[in-house]
Amino acid sequence: MKANEVLDMLKRRFPNEPEYHQAVSEVLGTIEEVYNEHPEFEKSNLIERLCIPDRIFSFRVTWVDDKGQVRTNMGYRVQHNNAIGPYKGGIRFHASVNLSILKFLAFEQTFKNSLTTLPMGGAKGGSDFSPRGKSNAEIMRFCQAFVTELWRHIGPDTDVPAGDIGVGGREVGYMYGMYKKLARENTGTFTGKGIEFGGSLIRPEATGYGNVYFLLQMLKTKGIDIKDKVVTVSGSGNVAQYTVEKLITLGAKVVTMSDSDGYIYDPDGIDREKLDYIMELKNLYRGRIREYAEKYGVKYVPGARPWGEKCDIAMPSATQNEINGDDARALLANGCFAVSEGANMPSTPEAIDEFLKAKILYAPGKAANAGGVSVSGLEMTQNAQKLSWSSEEVDQKLKDIMANIHEQCLKYGTQEDGYVNYVKGANVAGFMKVAKAMMAQGIL
Ligand code: NDP
Ligand code: 2IT
């Protein structure tokens, strides 16, 4: 079956899954050349096998809220592909979670994990549970209930979950605690754990730092210095916070952050002290970004995203499809010359087309945000060895991995005119490794 026929087939067999179709379409659109160079792929129906997840678990999660009311949510785990290592990928708790979103994320994760150089397959899980407004006790009861179903499908050498939207250190702790009780083992199944019980230093920072390290690699190809560059960041969660932290230490000026209600614009730039305030606001009090604008007397724009603000560099770090064609055109019109994605699939296909047409530095999430899962891989190694590495060691390995991913993008994505198409580079590099591993292991 040809690549475009596979997409039509997926749309027929799995209708109403637009995010899944979008992610598959982006990858298939860039690998045609290498696919055609390998006629053996077609005979073994490789693309179809690579696009359809190995298996999907779905289950009801029943929990009790603080008023004593019994509530239900749906829980899922999509085990996409384990050709190069155990299934690996985060858990998302958000009201919008459905199978289309988790299938797109698990598909992307497979190629991202392939790029990291570490032996990890791709997976994703989650629930349509919304943590917003829930008490700590409700979060704990929900995490425990979720794991009473999930635990039988995961393990240190089979499937290792971690965090994603709505799941951070607190939630991973509650899930891991319940997992250990049920599985009667202490082998580190889950990454992003607390430092006291097997977590890795630099894991909380890894996605944001890694994205900035990738950006630095891209800027280096053009001889551009990050210092004094104006950066717009979206989101104010884990990825956004550590992206901003690293940018500040490098002397860049971050002028925006956001949450699902709106964004703040601080023309003086978010400094260390203001970032500390945001971290406390978001991680401790679970407040809204609007409160930053009230405290520091800056502009708050409700119900909007920050892409209309003038910047040199944009780093979307909230969610999928948060930059549409109009946003991309606004960024370009304002002189933005680099976009590096902390979130997964934040740019719509139309936005990606605009960036590539304008030939700016554009790094897709599966390359730029791979630092998070990379340090998760390093956490797995430390757990297996029953030891832990210093921050400096982990940070250096993270830098090396991001440089390696950048190198792979250059190798497979450099066009005849010298422009680097990082989308193609990342997709081809990620795809070829998984494809070769699948071919070598027979028809499964
Ligand atoms: P968090 O839950 O810590 O933060 C998410 C942030 O994005 C919050 O500010 C949230 O606002 C905002 N947000 C979430 N959903 C929406 C939405 N539908 N519309 C507008 N804003 C939204 O998640 P992370 O920082 O961990 O994840 C952010 C992105 O990075 C996701 O795309 C995730 O898949 C990706 N990612 C995460 C990695 C990790 O290690 N955590 C690794 C690689 C990628 P609010 O507070 O209002 O909900
Ligand atoms: O999208 C991602 O790469 C993550 N949410 C992190 C996954 C992981 O296993 O650390």
Q: Which DSSP string do the residues of 28-80 spell out, in sequence order? A: HHHHHHHHHT-HHHHHTTHHHHHHS-SEEEEEEEEEE-TTS-EEEEEEEEEEE
- Give the residue, by CA position, lying nearest to ligand 2 atom 3: 373
CATH number for the domain harbouring residue 325: 3.40.50.720
Supply the range of the domain harboring residue 138.
3-186
Q: What pLDDT is recorded for position 3? A: 75
Residue ranges around ligand 2 (CB below 6 Å): 88-90, 109, 112, 162, 164, 191, 344, 372-373, 376
Q: Is 161 helix (H, G, I), strand (E, B) or coil?
A: strand
Distance 163 CA to ligand 2 centre (A): 6
Distance 315 CA to ligand 2 centre (A): 17
Which one of 88, 124, 180, 366 is the catalytic residue?
124
238 lines ligand 1 (CB under 6 A): yes
In a shared domain, residues 38 and 161 = yes
- Give the residue, by CA position, lying nearest to ligand 2 atom 4: 90
In a shared domain, residues 140 and 234 = no
In a shared domain, residues 230 and 175 = no
Q: What pLDDT is recorded for position 4? A: 81
- Give the residue, by CA position, lying nearest to ligand 1 atom 19: 260
CATH number for the domain harbouring residue 157: 3.40.50.10860
344 lines ligand 1 (CB under 6 A): yes
Q: What pLDDT is recorded for position 1? A: 65
**Distance of alpha carbon 185 from alpha carbon 180, whole angstroms:** 6
Domain end residue (candidates: 359, 390, 424): 359
In a shared domain, residues 123 and 14 = yes
Q: pLDDT tens digits for 257-316?
A: 999 999 999 999 999 999 999 999 999 999 999 999 999 999 999 999 999 999 999 999
Q: What pLDDT is recorded for position 219? A: 98
How is residue 55 written in tokens? 């298996």
Q: What pLDDT is recorded for position 407? A: 98
Structural domain count, the chain? 2
Strands 253-259 and 230-233 come out as: parallel
Q: Is 11 a catalytic residue?
A: no
| Residue ranges in the chain modelled with pLDDT below 50 | none
In a shared domain, residues 220 and 316 = yes
Count, residues in the chain: 444
In a shared domain, residues 165 and 290 = no
- Given ligand 2 and candidates 82, 107, 164, which is best to mutate, with the most ligand atoms within 8 Å of its CB? 164
In a shared domain, residues 220 and 173 = no
